[in-house]
Amino acid sequence: MNKTLKSTIWILIAIIGASAVGSIALNRGENINALWFIAAAICVYSLAYRFYATWIATSVLMLDYTRATPAERFDNGRDFTPTHKWIVFGHHFAAIAGPGPLVGPTLAAQFGYLPGTLWILFGAVVGGCVQDMVTLFLSTRRNAKSLGQMAREELGALGGTAALIGTFSIMIILIAVLGLVVVNAMKHSPWATFTVSATIPVAMLVGIYMRYIRPGQVLEASAIGVILLLVSVGGGRFIDEHETLRLLFDHEGLTLAWWIMAYGFAAAVLPVWLLLAPRDYLSTYMKLGTITLLAVAIIMLQPHIKMPAITPFTDGSGPIFGGKLFPFVFITIACGAISGFHALISSGTTPKLLSNERDIQIIGYGCMLLESFVAIMAMIAATVLDPGVFFAINSSAGVVGTEAVDAVAKISSWGYPVTVEQMQHLAHEMGEATLFARTGGAPSLAVGMASIFGSAFGENLLALWYHFAIMFEAIFILTTLDAGTRVGRFMLQDILGNFWPKMGETSWTPSVVLTSGLVVSGWGYFLYIGVIDPNGGVNILWPLFGIANQMLAAIALCVATGILIKSGKLKFAWVTGLPLAWLVIITTTAAWEKITSSDIRIGFFSAANDLTEKIASGILPPAKASIAPQLIFNLHLDAWLTLFFVGLLWLIIFDMLRVCSRYLSGKAVLPLTESAHIPSRLVEEWARD
C-alpha cells in the first residue's frame, strides 16, 4: 500500500476514534448507542497498538528478531516449544482473561458508564498492556524466569520476597471474593445451584474420558463436556419446577459457602487430571465462545445504554460500594485496565512458547487489548439495563432494606425509577424467585447478557440465557478458585519447606492436607465473613482485591522500571514509570481512605467503632448483634491487611529507587541477568506468518 493511503487510513481511524470517545464523553441526557463504545474501543486500540506499542517494541525494548528465544534454546517438545504466534496468543489470552474484567466494570457502573469506560480504554493502552508486554519481554530475555525470580535477581531479596507475599495474599483475597460472587448467584436459586454443581461431575467425566477411556483425545472429550454443560443448563429448569427436587438445591448463602470451601479443598488435593484440567478445558471453551457470542450479539443488536454518563454517586455515597470516584473507580476496575496477576502469566508461562521476540508486541500488548475489550462489553451489558433495575439487583439489603417495597422506594428516590412489579416480572422471566439484592455483579451481568442474547437470538429463551450466563461465569470462577487454591498450596509448601524440608515435598500427604487446609481456611474465612455481612461483603472484599491486584501490578512495574534504568534507558523509564506512579497514587489514596475515612461505609476502623458503639448502646437487632463481634474483628483485620499491602508496596518502591540511584551514581548494583545473544536458527517459515 502506498504511504499516503496508509496515512489517510490512520488519520480516518483517529478522527472516528476521537468522535466516538467525544460522543461517549459529552453525551448527556439522551440514550447513547453501544456501537459508539465499540467504535471508540476499536479505534483507541488500533492507534495505540500501531503507534505506541510499535514504538515501545522498536525504540524502548528494541526487540531483536534474530535472537533465539528460550523456547528455541531449551526446546524439549513439551513446555518449552517454539509455537506459532496465534497459538501463543490463544493460550495467553485464555490464561489472562478471567472473571475480573466482567465483575469489575459491572460494579463500577454505579458511577455511570463514563468513568469506568475511560479508565478501561486508557488504563489499558497506557498501563495494563505496557505492563504485560514489558514483563513478557523481560522474562523472555531471562530464560522465561518468573516475576518473583526477576525481582530477586534484579532488585534484591526484598523485592523477591515482596513479590512472593504479594502473589500469595492476592490469591487468598481473590478466591474469597470470587467465591462470594458465586454464592450470591446461587443463593436460593435451585436452577443456578443445580447447573453450577453439575459442572463438577461433568468435569470429572471429561477428565476420566481424557485420561483412561480415550487418552489424549482432548477435543472429543471437551465436545462431550460442552454438550453435557448445555444439557445441565436446561436440566436446571426441570429441577426448579420439580416440587421436591428443588428443595435439594435451594440453600442459604452460608450453606453454599461451606460447600464451596469443601469443593476448593477437594480440588486442591485431588489429582489435576480428574477435576482441574478438564474443568479448565470446559471453562476456556465456554469463555471464548460466550465472549464471541456477546460481541456478535452487541454488534447485531446495537443496544442503547440506559445508564447516565455520570451518576450522583461519584461523591462516595454509592449503594454498591462506598467511596468517591477517585480513587475507587481505578481500584474497582483492575483487570480490564491493568492487572498485576497478568505479570505472573507473562513471566514464566508464555515466554516458554514464544518462537520469536517479534511476537511480543501482539501477544503482550494485543492480548491485553482484547481483555480490555471484554471489560468494555461487560460495561455495555451492565449499562443496557434500566438504572433502577441495575441498582435493585446490586444494592444489598443492608443499604436499601430487606422489603421489596422499601428497596424500590429508596432506589426510585435516587432518581432511578423502578417498581416491584417490574422486578417481579423480570425475575419471573429469568426463572428466579427474586432479583433484589443479588450483589456481586454476576446476576446483573447475567440479566444484561440474557437481555442482549434474548433480543438478538430469541426472547422466549430469556431464563435459559440467564442461567447459561450464570453457568458461564460460575464455571471459570470455580476454575480460578481451584487453580488458585492449588497454586496457593504449592507456594505455602515451598515457604514451609524452608523451615522443614519434608513439608516442601509436594506429594507428601500430611503436607498436602495441611497446606491445602490452611489455604482454604485463609480464603474461606473471608468468604464466610462476606456471606454473613449484612451489607453483602462484596463492598469490602472487592476494593481489597483491587488494592492487592494493583499492588502486584506496581511490583511488576517496579521491576520493569528498575531494569530499564539499569540497562541505561533512563530516558525511556517513564514508559513503565508513569503507570507505576499512577498506581502508587491510587492504591495509596484508596488504602488511606479505607483506613482513615470517618465515613462508616468507607473506613474500616470507623465502621468497626460504629458497630462497637451500637453494641454498647444496645440498638442492634439481636440477629445483627450476634455477628457484630466477628464483623468488628474482620474490619480490623481488613484495615491491617490494607496497611500491610501499602507498606509492602512502598518498601519495594524504595528498594527500586535505591537500586536505581546507586546505578545512576555509578555505584555497584546487582548485574543485569539478561541471557547472552544467541542467534536464532529458526529460519523455517512455519514459525512465521
Partner 1 sequence: MINKINTLWRLIRRLSGDDAYEQYLEYYDRHHQNKVKILCQKPLSKAEFFKQWQDEKWNGIKRCC
Chain positions contacting partner 1, by CB under 8 A: 75, 77-79, 81, 83-84, 86-87, 90-91, 95-100, 167, 174, 178, 210-211, 215-219, 222, 271-273, 276-277, 280-281, 334-335, 339, 341-342, 344-345, 348-349, 479-480, 483-484, 486-487, 490, 545, 549
Helix 85-96 vs helix 367-383: crossing angle, to nearest 10: 40
Please, what is the minimum distance in Å from the beta carbon of residue 76 to partner 1? 8
Cβ partners under 8 Å of residue 563, min gap 6:
138, 150, 154, 672
In the bound state with partner 1, the residue whose beta carbon lies nearer, of 451 and 549, is: 549
Cβ partners under 8 Å of residue 523, min gap 6:
171, 172, 173, 175, 176, 179, 264, 485
Bridge-partner residues for 67, per DSSP?
679
Instruction: Return the exposure string of 19-56: e unless at least 16 CB atoms fall within 10 Å of the residue's CB, then b.
Output: ebbeebeebeeeebebbbbbbbbbbbbbbbbeebbeeb
What is the spatial distance between Cα 307 and Cα 107, in angstroms, rounded to a whole number? 13
Please, what is the minimum distance in Å from the beta carbon of residue 100 to partner 1? 4
Please, what is the minimum distance in Å from the beta carbon of residue 524 to partner 1? 18
In the bound state with partner 1, the residue whose beta carbon lies nearer, of 47 and 277, is: 277
Please, what is the minimum distance in Å from the beta carbon of residue 333 to partner 1? 12
Please, what is the minimum distance in Å from the beta carbon of residue 273 to partner 1? 5
In the bound state with partner 1, the residue whose beta carbon lies nearer, of 67 and 287, is: 287
Q: Which of 410, 178, 465 is nearest to 293 (CA)?
A: 465
Which whole-number Å values give the CA distances from 552 to 128, 296, 430, in the listed order? 12, 34, 38
In the bound state with partner 1, the residue whose beta carbon lies nearer, of 545 and 645, is: 545
In the bound state with partner 1, the residue whose beta carbon lies nearer, of 211 and 358, is: 211
Please, what is the minimum distance in Å from the beta carbon of residue 212 to partner 1? 8
Please, what is the minimum distance in Å from the beta carbon of residue 484 to partner 1? 8
Please, what is the minimum distance in Å from the beta carbon of residue 276 to partner 1? 6
In the bound state with partner 1, the residue whose beta carbon lies nearer, of 79 and 406, is: 79
Under DSSP, is residue 679 helix (H, G, I), strand (E, B) or coil?
strand
Please, what is the minimum distance in Å from the beta carbon of residue 372 to partner 1? 14
Q: Are 231 and 202 in contact (CB under 8 A)?
A: no
Q: Are 452 and 444 in contact (CB under 8 A)?
A: no
In the bound state with partner 1, the residue whose beta carbon lies nearer, of 68 and 430, is: 68
In the bound state with partner 1, the residue whose beta carbon lies nearer, of 83 and 189, is: 83
Q: Are 611 and 355 in contact (CB under 8 A)?
A: no
What's the DSSP call for residue 401? -
In the bound state with partner 1, the residue whose beta carbon lies nearer, of 211 and 624, is: 211
Q: Are 95 and 479 in contact (CB under 8 A)?
A: no
Which whole-number Å values give the CA distances from 645 to 583, 587, 605, 642, in the listed order? 13, 9, 16, 5
What is the spatial distance between Cα 38 and Cα 42, in angstroms, rounded to a whole number? 6
